[in-house]
Amino acid sequence: MVHKIITNALKEDIGRGDITSRAIIPKSQKAKANIIAKEAAVIAGLSVARDVFRSLYRSLRFSPKVKEGKRVKKGKVIAEISGNARAILAGERVALNFLQHLSGIATLTNKFVLRIRRTHARILDTRKTTPGLRALEKYAVRVGGGVNHRMGLYDAVLIKDNHVKLAGGIEKAILKARDKVRGMRYEVEAKNINEVKEAIMSKADRILLDNMNIRTLRQAVRLCKKAGVKTEASGGVNLQNVRAIAKTGVSFISVGALTHSAPALDISLKII
């Protein structure tokens, strides 16, 4: 899957060829370059960047100077590249795009993880990902210390408000899911305490507590803990309120911003 993503990205950028480098740089010219983090970051995507360059010129040497998931300071050289100059320049933008995007996700995820230290909650991602890049973006979440929620619609049962409306209620939705799908966790969304109680009575395995204020979250968590049901808080989560949410005792906190709003990190490539 990653190979296909890289191939499509290179085709999109290079097209019929890098006409600028072909005009200026001899075909056999060699070069060395550094990839530099221009701001503090948690680095993710080094293997993807390596594969970008090697897809263009197999003998290019890509040498990481930090470990994947390592927090680095501004100005740190995170990788060195040597080999064919045209290939280095042809792969530069695509490799940096992946590194900047994935490191941005890992860095933001790590900020959330650090904010909830010494609580029992864990940070989850969502399906709010860039089409075609989900596998890479969810990988970056793991690098940053987060946990992947379901990968798609196929690997977990998550009954949301629209399912409930179409099924005629939480209990009916859960009963239908249990009848048709076996051997999976059954999670259901609840927006208020009455829905939480209904989900508990319907024997949900996990309850998604959606857009609840802190007071309601605490009440919902107490009810769920008493029933032995895991909880997940979702909706409006940010770096300012995530610790307060975690301190309610929820098991998980899902954050769509990890993948849909993480700013790209400033990373550059410089010929030595």
Whether 30 has a pLDDT exceeding 90, the answer reads yes
Q: Say which of 122, 128, 142, 191 is annotated catalytic.
A: 128
Residue 210 is among the residues annotated as catalytic for this protein: yes
Going by pLDDT thresholds of 50, 70 and 90, the confidence category of residue 184 is confident
Residue 189 is among the residues annotated as catalytic for this protein: yes
Residue 51 is among the residues annotated as catalytic for this protein: no
Whether 182 has a pLDDT exceeding 90, the answer reads no
Q: Say which of 18, 137, 187, 189 is annotated catalytic.
A: 189
Delimiting residues of CATH 3.90.1170.20 domain(s) in the chain: 2-108+263-271
Q: Which CATH architecture has domain 2-108+263-271?
A: Alpha-Beta Complex (3.90)
pTM of the prediction? 0.95
Decide yes or no: CATH 3.20.20.70 for domain 114-260.
yes
d(CA 68, CA 64): 9
Q: Which phi and psi angles does 100 have, rounded to 5°?
A: -65, -45
Residue 125 is among the residues annotated as catalytic for this protein: no
Q: What percent of the chain has pLDDT over 70?
A: 100
Helix H segments across the chain?
2-14, 19-24, 46-56, 85-115, 134-143, 161-167, 170-180, 193-201, 214-227, 242-246, 257-260
The string of pLDDT tens digits covering residues 102-157 is: 999 999 999 999 999 999 999 999 999 999 999 999 999 999 999 999 999 999 99
